[in-house]
Each structure stands twice: as C-alpha cells, then as structure tokens.
C-alpha cells in the first residue's frame, strides 16, 4: 500500500514513523510546510530528516490545495492519504485524488469538539474523559465517519503537554492497529452521531491573557491549557509581558486582603498571587529580557 502523509507537527511525525515502518506499506511522499511558515504551528516539527529516514520525498507547500501539491501527490498514485497535523481544510480536488481514502486525526472524541484548538479546549472545559479520533475526511470540518477512537481520562492537573503526549500515544496505537486492517481491505466506517456535536472555536496567542479577577481555578486551567507546546498564558509586569508556564492552587486566601493580581507572598521560589477568588502559586514564569524580577506586593496585569 502506498501512502502520502500531509502535516507539520508532532502527530505527523508519529504517522510517518508508523506508516513508514509498517509491513506492506510504502511512504513515497510527505507534504509539509516550508520552514519559513513554521509560525503557523507553535508545535511545528521539521519532518525532513524523519521523512528521509523512511525513504520519503518531501514536498513543501503553503497549501495542500494548490495545483503543484495536488500534482505531486497524484504523481505517486497513493492508495491512502493521511492528513495529520495540518490546519487547512482539504478541498474537493484534493479529496478526489483517491476518493474516500483520505484519513485525518482529531484530538477529541468526535463528534464532540469539532474544529480548532481541541487540546486547550479539553482542559478549559474541565473534561474528565477525552479521545483521539482517526476519521475519514469528507465535506465539512471533522464530519467524516470514524475509523478508530481511543478514549482516556483527563487528569485533574492535566497540562497541554501531558495531554498532547497522551494523544501521540493514542495515535501511535490506533495506527499500529489500523494499518494492517487497511492493507487487508478492512475499512471501518462508523457514522458520527450529530446529536452530540459541539464546536471548538479557534484560539490565538492573545487568548492566553490572564484576567486576575477570575477565580484561581479558572486561571489555573488557562495556564495548564495553553502552556507548552503552545505560546503560554501571560500577564504584564510593569507594562511588560510575563509568561506564566506553571502554577498551583494553594489555600490560605482568608489570611490576605489584596487586589486581584497582587503578589502577597513568596514561598519556595513561587509567587503567591491573589485572584478574584483564592490564591495561585506561580511556579515558573518567563519575563521580558530587560524586565526586573517580580517584587512582593507588585500587582500583575497593571502598569506601575
């Protein structure tokens, strides 16, 4: 079986390793972004060396729907196309290269959380269980039939990075099981039940701005949801950006009378910050190069 893989992130690398080393499969072509467009994905992965290691050519393109890309894919005559880690909608001409044989991956329990930024939204919504979904690409966004799904729990202290890693493991496991079935002509196709559809809206780096009047629980979820490999939650310190990579809920709020965002204590290297409701211990932060270290009683999110 000949496959083409389209993508530009960590999940794409997982797919390349699985397809490129699967018995009965060959991977003649990988389509990915040019290096100069790496800013499209905060988790961009340079796939060149990995593709070379499994004998695949690299085609770099800004769009999977442009004529050059479609021609490059047609030239290798694939049996299946895997679109994994690619944020563009595939148009009818692309899907027509091998009709009904394009497979995507979505880091959510489809039909729930169709759309964008599913990993951050999973944490922001305080989901207890999620899933990774391999599905057949069709008209619409994340609407196609399900090939495979793997469900798993979301920990109370889950971060974007730990959830991302769980999805990489789920994708690897599902591909390992699905590839022999596909090679043998077995194609599971389970329709999505539209009664359970929800949509996840696009998020941008500025959506990581902390509102210190929110509760400590809300801010903690934001920090965990948009941390590495994403741009991070942030505030300002004396008018300069301060990224907060790690935080922890702490007790003792009844002992302090302070403004939301005010640093009320320093304990074991952490900044204890008053929120709208409760305290948050900021354990890891990153200030602008010329910014001074946060001071006790300084208020985050306001200009001095």
Q: Give the C-alpha separation, 219 to 77, whole Å.
A: 49
What is the predicted pLDDT for the residue at 241? Answer: 92
For 141-164, the pLDDT digits (tens) are 999 999 999 999 999 999 999 999
Residue limits of CATH 3.40.50.170 in the chain: 2-200
What is the predicted pLDDT for the residue at 217? Answer: 98
What is the predicted pLDDT for the residue at 11? Answer: 97
Would you state the structure tokens that stand for residue 11, as one six-digit string? 């999940």
Residue limits of CATH 3.10.25.10 in the chain: 205-287
What is the predicted pLDDT for the residue at 39? Answer: 77
For 34-77, the pLDDT digits (tens) are 988 877 878 899 999 999 999 999 999 999 999 999 999 999 99
Q: Give the C-alpha separation, 249 to 261, whole Å.
A: 14
On whether the 205-287 domain is CATH 3.40.50.300, my answer is: no
pTM over 0.75: yes
What is the predicted pLDDT for the residue at 42? Answer: 82
Residues of the chain with pLDDT under 50: none
- 208 to each of 222, 236, 248, how far by Cα in Å? 7, 12, 17
- 210 to each of 187, 240, 280, how far by Cα in Å? 45, 14, 12
Q: Where are the beta strands (DSSP E) in 74-128?
A: 80-83, 102-106, 114-115
Q: Give the C-alpha separation, 146 to 189, whole Å.
A: 5
Q: 2-200 sits in which CATH class?
A: alpha beta
């Amino acid at each position: 079986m000949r496959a083409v893989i389209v993508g530009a992130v960590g999940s794409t690398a997982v797919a390349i390793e699985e397809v490129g080393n699967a018995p009965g499969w060959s991977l003649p072509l990988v389509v990915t972004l040019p290096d100069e467009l790496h800013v499209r994905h905060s988790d961009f992965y340079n796939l060149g060396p990995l593709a070379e290691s499994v004998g695949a050519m690299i085609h770099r393109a800004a769009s999977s729907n442009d004529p050059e890309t479609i021609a490059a894919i047609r030239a290798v005559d694939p049996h299946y196309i895997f679109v994994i880690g690619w944020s563009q909608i595939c148009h009818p001409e692309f899907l027509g290269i091998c009709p009904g044989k394009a497979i995507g991956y979505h880091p959510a329990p489809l039909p729930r959380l169709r759309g964008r930024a599913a990993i951050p939204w999973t944490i922001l919504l305080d989901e207890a269980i999620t899933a990774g979904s391999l599905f057949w690409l069709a008209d619409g966004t994340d609407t196609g039939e399900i090939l495979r799904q793997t469900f798993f729990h979301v920990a109370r202290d889950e971060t974007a990075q730990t959830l991302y890693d769980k999805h990489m493991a789920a994708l690897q496991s599902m591909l390992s099981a699905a590839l022999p079935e596909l090679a043998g002509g077995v194609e599971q196709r389970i329709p999505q039940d539209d009664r359970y559809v929800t949509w996840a809206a696009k998020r941008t780096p500025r959506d990581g701005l902390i509102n210190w009047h929110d509760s400590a629980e809300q801010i903690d979820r934001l920090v965990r949801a948009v941390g590495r490999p994403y741009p991070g939650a942030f505030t300002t310190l004396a008018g300069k950006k301060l990224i907060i990579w790690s935080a922890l809920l702490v007790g003792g709020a009844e002992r302090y009378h302070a403004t939301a965002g005010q640093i009320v204590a320093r304990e074991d290297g952490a900044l204890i910050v008053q929120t709208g409701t409760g305290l948050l211990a900021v354990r890891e932060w990153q200030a602008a190069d010329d910014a001074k270290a946060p001071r006790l009683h300084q208020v985050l999110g306001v200009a001095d």
